[in-house]
Amino acid sequence: MSSSRRDIMKIAGAVGALGVAGAARAQQAGAPAAFDFGNPSDFERELKIVNCEWLEEDAKKILPPWRFAVMGPNGDGWTYRENRRAFGDYPILAHRLQNVDDKAIDLRVQLLEHSLPFPMIVCPMGAQGTFHARAEAASAAGAEAAGTLFVMSGAATLPMEDVAKAHPGPKWFQIYMNADMEINRWLVQRAKAAGFSAIVLTADALGPGQSDEYIRLGRPQPPGAETPGNHDPARGGRGVFRNFKRNIGFDDIGFLHEASGLPVVAKGLLRADDAKQAVASGAAAVWISNHGGRQMDGVPASISMLGPAADALGGSVAIILDSGVRRGIDIFKALALGANVVSVGRPVLWGMTAGGSAGVKGVFTQLAAELKAAMLLSGVAKATDIHRDFVRYKPV
Ligand SMILES: Cc1cc2nc3c(=O)[nH]c(=O)nc-3n(C[C@H](O)[C@H](O)[C@H](O)COP(=O)(O)O)c2cc1C
């Protein structure tokens, strides 16, 4: 094992062990000696999930407050709340008496070259060692058990190769671009070698999301746990946000495609004109997202921007929607407005906190059951047949 890799593993392990070692390490790093980092969860158990909102309450009871606050929204949380509220702008115009048999309900969809059992994938989310001792290995194993695509964050706790082992199935790698383009080239080539089949370029972040609550708590950072997973100290430093490329542009889509030989997915777009330009610049899919309200407060809900983007793209590429998806009916509405799949964010972290990989699988089982019920009661058998007529649509 190389020294850098040993270092990374030590750091990843430290995230789980901070309850014991936290105070001493914090002192070394100049953090207040009294700060109690507490432990991430290490649960591995089946959950009885009734809905995602209540799962969030369970996760909140399990995690120390600062760990939970890492998931919080930016600013005063207007966009975060809007992500939920705006689903209410699109009531479902359910058909009745359509002779749909529940055995005929078919949730399967295609996303790039992947056949998925349902129209849901896992969002890239960084620093998962904050929440669970097994970090991304737990969420990747949960996605694997559910049979769906896992998107690995470029700001992960664990190295991408370790996560690839936990998820032999379909997986993409998300990149936060470095100002040093050779580091970007090295990262995406490494991802390809590890078995990741697409690169996700996140377009809506200038650093780690930090909620006011997290800042009020003093931005507690377990020393060394700053998303070390994919960074080699020999190649520009450990922290993914240390030498962040701030001037990312449409030309970076072409760069990443050329450097990796993989399809590139543009994540964090809201505007229809940006979506069109991303596709013209070579994006293989467009991901409508506002980062779950974690990056820039004041932008519209993702679901509000989906219809116009889908109209502009006219089915030319796949569309992914995230931010605020918590219910099967949310997925139904997203498909009706033009998404091919939704991506699930925080509920995966809540499921992981409460139940490890089994909890993550449980989130997808529950959302799939809710979607199935919504389809049955709307008279549509195939997820791919859910179209615009199924919602009352008003473009914003
Ligand atoms: C704790 C946390 C960490 C995240 N880290 C990343 C990341 O590393 N890269 C990225 O593209 N998005 C990241 N996101 C954003 C998610 O990919 C996704 O856009 C968002 O969580 C969707 O909203 P939802 O949580 O309301 O479902 C993160 C989100 C959370 C909650």
Provide the CB-side half-sphere exposure for 150 (13 A, CA): 31
Calculate mean pLDDT across residues 73-84: 97
CA 290 to chain centre: 11
Kindly state whether residue 239 falls inside one of the protein's structural domains: yes
Predicted pLDDT of residue 231: 73
Which residues form ligand 1's pocket by a CB distance below 6 Å?
70-71, 83, 123-126, 153, 155, 174, 202, 267, 289, 291-292, 294, 322-325, 344-346
Residues with Cβ within 8 Å of 236's Cβ and at least 6 positions away in sequence, in order, are 178, 180, 183, 242, 243
Q: Pick the range with the lowest mean pLDDT from 47-56, 207-216, 217-226.
A: 217-226
Cα–Cα distance for residue pair 305/309, rounded to 1 Å: 6
Report CA(250)–ligand 1 centroid distance (Å).
Answer: 21
Q: Tell me, what's the pLDDT at 164?
A: 94
Residue 230: the pLDDT is 75
In a domain, 395, yes or no: no
Q: How confident is the model at residue 43 (pLDDT cuts 50, 70, 90)?
A: very high
What pLDDT is attached to residue 303? Answer: 98
Residue 20's pLDDT band, with cuts at 50, 70 and 90, is very low
Given a cut of 80, whether residue 133 has pLDDT beyond it is: yes
Length of the chain as a residue count? 396
What CATH number has the domain bearing residue 54? Answer: 3.20.20.70
pLDDT digits (tens, 9 = 90+) for 190-204: 999 999 999 999 999
Atom of ligand 1 nearest to the CA of 130: 1
- Number of Cα atoms under 13 Å in the Cβ half of residue 34: 2
| Ligand 1 centroid distance, CA of 359 (Å) | 18
DSSP 8-state assignment for residue 218? T
Q: Within the chain, where are the H helices?
A: 3-28, 52-62, 65-69, 78-85, 135-146, 160-166, 181-194, 212-216, 251-260, 272-280, 302-313, 328-337, 346-376
Residues 6+ apart with CB under 8 A from 338: 306, 307, 309, 310, 311, 313, 319, 388
Q: Alpha-carbon distance 152 to 176, whole Å?
A: 11
Domain count, the chain: 1
Tell me which residue range forms the domain holding 254.
3-390
Categorize the per-residue pLDDT at 249 as very low, low, confident or very high, splitting at 50, 70 and 90: very high
The residue whose C-alpha atom lies closest to atom 10 belonging to ligand 1 is 124
- pLDDT of 22 > 90? The answer is no
Taking the C-alpha atoms of 363, 124, 142 and 74 in order, what is their torsion angle to the nearest 10 degrees? -40
Nearest CA to ligand 1 atom 27: 345
156 confidence band (pLDDT: 50, 70, 90): very high
Q: Rounded mean pLDDT of the chain?
A: 89
Collapsed DSSP state (helix, strand, coil) of residue 111: strand
307 to each of 98, 121, 316, 389, 396, how far by Cα in Å? 26, 20, 14, 12, 9
Q: What's the token pair of residue 334? A: 């997203």
- Which residue lies with its CA nearest to atom 20 of ligand 1? 292
pLDDT per position as a tens digit, 296-353:
999 999 999 999 999 999 999 999 999 999 999 999 999 999 999 999 999 999 999 9
Nearest atom, ligand 1, residue 131 CA: 1
Find tokens 């699988």 and name the residue: 361
Which range has the worst mean pLDDT, 11-25, 274-288, 319-333? 11-25
% of the chain surpassing 90 pLDDT: 79
Residue 244, pLDDT score: 86
**What distance in angstroms lies between residue 291's CA and the mean position of ligand 1's atoms?**
5
The residue whose CA is least distant from atom 3 of ligand 1 is: 125
Residue 222 has pLDDT above 90, yes or no: no
Of residues 170, 217, 178, 188, the one with CA closest to residue 64: 217
Ligand 1, residue 128: give the atom nearest the CA.
Answer: 1
SS3 assignment, position 150: strand
pLDDT band at residue 235 under the 50/70/90 scheme:
low
Residue 15's pLDDT band (cuts 50, 70, 90): very low
- What per-residue confidence (pLDDT) applies to 33? 57
Please tell me the pTM assigned to this model. 0.92
Residue 110 has phi, psi (to 5 degrees) of -110, 135
The best mutation among 202, 256, 294 to test binding of ligand 1, ranked by most ligand atoms within 8 Å of the C-beta, falls on 294
CA 240 – CA 259 distance, rounded (Å): 19
Which tokens go with 393?
């649509």
Q: What is the pLDDT of residue 225?
A: 56
Tell which wins on pLDDT, 227 or 313. 313
- Give me ligand 1 centre to Cα 293, in Å: 9
CA distances (Å), origin 274, targets 58, 83, 170, 219, 328: 38, 20, 27, 33, 28
Helix, coil or strand: residue 102: helix
Cβ neighbours around 265 below 10 Å, total: 26
Residue 26: pLDDT over 80:
no
End-to-end CA distance of the chain: 54
User: Could you tell me the distance, in angstroms and rounded to a whole number, from the CA of residue 18 to the centre of ligand 1?
Assistant: 24
pLDDT for 28 beyond 90? no
What pLDDT sits at residue 36? 80
DSSP string spanning 234-297? GGT-S-TTTTB-----THHHHHHHHHHSS-EEEEEE--HHHHHHHHHTT-SEEEE--GGGTS-T
Query: 25 C-alpha vs ligand 1 centroid, how far in Å?
Result: 28
Mean pLDDT, residues 165-184 taken together: 94
For a pLDDT cut of 70, what percent of the chain falls above it? 87
- Indicate the top mutation candidate among 123, 202, 299, 325 to test ligand 1's pocket, ranked by most ligand atoms within 8 A of CB: 123
Is 132 catalytic? The answer is no
Q: How confident is the model at residue 286 (pLDDT cuts 50, 70, 90)?
A: very high
Q: Is residue 396 part of a domain?
A: no
Q: Is residue 85 part of a domain?
A: yes
Q: Is the pLDDT of residue 31 over 60?
A: no
